[in-house]
Amino acid sequence: MVSGIVFLDKPRGWSSRRAVNEVARLFGTNRKPRLKAGHAGTLDPLATGMLPILLGEATRFAELGLIAEKRYTVTMDLAYQTDTLDAEGETTARFAGEPTLAQIQAVLARFRGTYAQMPPRYSALHVGGRRAHALARQGAEFTLDPRPVDIRELILIRYEWPELVLQVRCSKGTYIRALARDIGDALAVGGCVVQLRRLSTGGWPESMMVTPEQLAERRAAALVPVSIWLKRLTAMHLDQEQCRRFLLGQRLRMEDSRISDGLVAVYGDGILLGTGELLPGEGGCAVLHPCRILPSAQEQCLG
């Protein structure tokens, strides 16, 4: 059974859905049901770079990528803006002013840290059960609510009018197109994204990425085990009886009061069982609540 993660270097022009389908096809068989597959964080078709694609049981842990911080390089054109906020849209305005380097540095300082960001109208957010981008293309009137994002790093790489190149490290939910728009608005110019590359998701290095061509040549070597995907979680090892109860979905009282609260990767006899959450219990003890349990572990350990 295929299970693991591929850190795809997504090509420009591919949607995230196409990337998932292409990877699933490479690992799939003619058997039914079809191989489950998903991604851990959408990339626009214009964007390239790291798109973690999860296969089989790994899809149960996609949230770790969705909530992780991301790192990008973005090239924005300050001379114009479009309806989609990137080079694939229709031009809505042009600008002739040329901000100075000092002005740009001052504006960038304002966006470091937490600020309320208005998502782009052309986005995958749901509005009344429909995608915002679908409504926008139909010319429908709708509103989106601003939401807090954390810009943890915003570095000026190069500025030569009209292009501004930045490196961004940011929290989940940050739209780089919206950040470029907001920076442009603060400078009274445009802010159209013409190039965008995701360098990292959750701190995974660029060296993990494989192109579609490399993946086709060495599928097995490119498939990262689920246990590696979970390696940043604290590992908790259970005895045989605890394993049985965990795999049956039962909560476990952990007597070791030194155990800290939070999400953990749960193992039994060297086998990954799934993930659990440690929450405070009575008497200073923690209680392990099962979160995601692997069916393969249930089959292997419970018969």
**Residues labelled catalytic:** 44
Contact 114, 204 (CB under 8 A): no
Distance CA(180)–CA(199), nearest Å, equals 17
Distance CA(84)–CA(196), nearest Å, equals 14
In sequence order, what are the residues at sequence separation of 6 or more whose Cβ sits closer than 8 angstroms to the Cβ of residue 270? none
In sequence order, what are the residues at sequence separation of 6 or more whose Cβ sits closer than 8 angstroms to the Cβ of residue 173? 147, 149
Q: What are phi and psi of 177, to 5 degrees?
A: -60, -40
Distance CA(79)–CA(132), nearest Å, equals 26
Determine how many CB atoms are found less than 10 A away from the CB of residue 135: 17
* 281: amino acid identity, one letter: G
Check residue 59 and report its DSSP letter.
G
Question: Could you write out the DSSP letters of every residue in 92-116?
Answer: EEE------HHHHHHHHHHHSEEEE
Angle among Cα 224, 54, 228 to the nearest 5 degrees reads 30
Contact 80, 106 (CB under 8 A): no
Place of tokens 């979160």: 291
* 246: amino acid identity, one letter: F
